[in-house]
Amino acid sequence: MDQSNPTCRVALVNLDESTAAILSDAFKQFSIQTTSFTTDSYQGLGQQKFDGCVVRLSPGCESILTGLRNSPRDRHVFIYGILIPGQTVQQVSKFGINTLMSEPISRQSARKVVRTTRLLVLHEFRRYVRIPLITDIELNSRFASHRCSSLEFSGGGMSARTESKLSCGEAVECSFGLPGREKHLHCNATISWTRPDMGLIGIRFDTSDPRRQLIKAWIEEYLQM
């Protein structure tokens, strides 16, 4: 059990009693406290500062997510999103959700998600090389445009999920949004690895592209918050 930060707090927003209990137990194993809320707005979370927030992505959750990302106090909070049946990643990607779970939540899946993300919630960022972040990506190659969804970011590149067929070594230009940035960022890149059976790819940013510095600056800001 991790005892490094016993005052770390996570908000559980609009979860049913069973799901809240499962997640609360998972966070408790790593000395992370939880508080449950039922609200239709960010203001309903009160005046506490949270290190993480679990939000059920039901209709109306946009007000809560927008409030979190626009708040000076909570804009860098680590957001766990719970997808409801029939929902897609694209419907919530603009909010910069860090990791997704799907209903129903089991104890095993809850513990796995908390274990793999706890360092970010506990602010031990330097030990976490990559930042989980789900956002839409457009990859423009010489002959086609491809839609992807990011999984993790670092200063050197990112991993993504896509249905497109891309080849290792293929040159592309990336375009994507990041929380706190009004404009999309762009950077030349190369496909560094592919896993077609899983629909996954690795994208390595071009170190000679000066636009990469904007991505690194965002990551540094995220790590220092």
The first and second tokens of residue 44, run together, are 């309903």
Cβ proximity of 151 and 160 under 8 Å: yes
Q: Please report the pLDDT score of residue 3 as a whole number.
A: 41
Following DSSP, what letter does each residue of 130-196 receive, concatenated?
SEE---EEEEE-SS-EEEEEEEEE-SSEEEEEESS---TT-EEEEEE--TT-SSPEEEEEEEEEEET
Cβ proximity of 35 and 65 under 8 Å: no
**Bond into 196 cis (ω within 30):** no
Following DSSP, what letter does each residue of 26-88 receive, concatenated?
HHHTTT-EEEEE--SSGGGGTT---SEEEEE--TTTHHHHHHHHH-TTTTTPEEEEEEPTT--
Q: Please report the pLDDT score of residue 124 as a whole number.
A: 58
Q: Please report the pLDDT score of residue 159 as a whole number.
A: 92
Residues 89 and 102: their CA atoms lie apart, in Å, by 11
Residues 93 and 97: their CA atoms lie apart, in Å, by 7
Residues 60 and 194: their CA atoms lie apart, in Å, by 36
Nearest 10 degrees: CA dihedral of 156, 212, 116, 168? -50
| Residue that is written with structure tokens 């694209």 in the block | 90
Q: Please report the pLDDT score of residue 224 as a whole number.
A: 62
Cβ proximity of 131 and 163 under 8 Å: no
CA 175 from chain center: how many Å?
A: 17
CA 45 from chain center: how many Å?
A: 20
Q: Please report the pLDDT score of residue 131 as a whole number.
A: 81
Q: What is the pLDDT along the chain (225 residues), one digit of tens a residue?
A: 444 444 788 999 999 999 999 999 999 988 899 999 999 888 888 888 888 999 998 888 888 998 888 888 887 788 999 988 877 777 777 778 888 898 899 999 999 999 888 877 776 554 445 788 888 999 998 888 999 999 888 878 899 999 888 888 899 999 998 887 878 899 999 998 998 888 999 999 998 889 888 888 888 777 665
The first and second tokens of residue 179, run together, are 């929380």
Q: Please report the pLDDT score of residue 37 as a whole number.
A: 93
Domains within the chain, CATH numbers bracketed: 9-127 (3.40.50.2300), 132-224 (2.40.10.220)
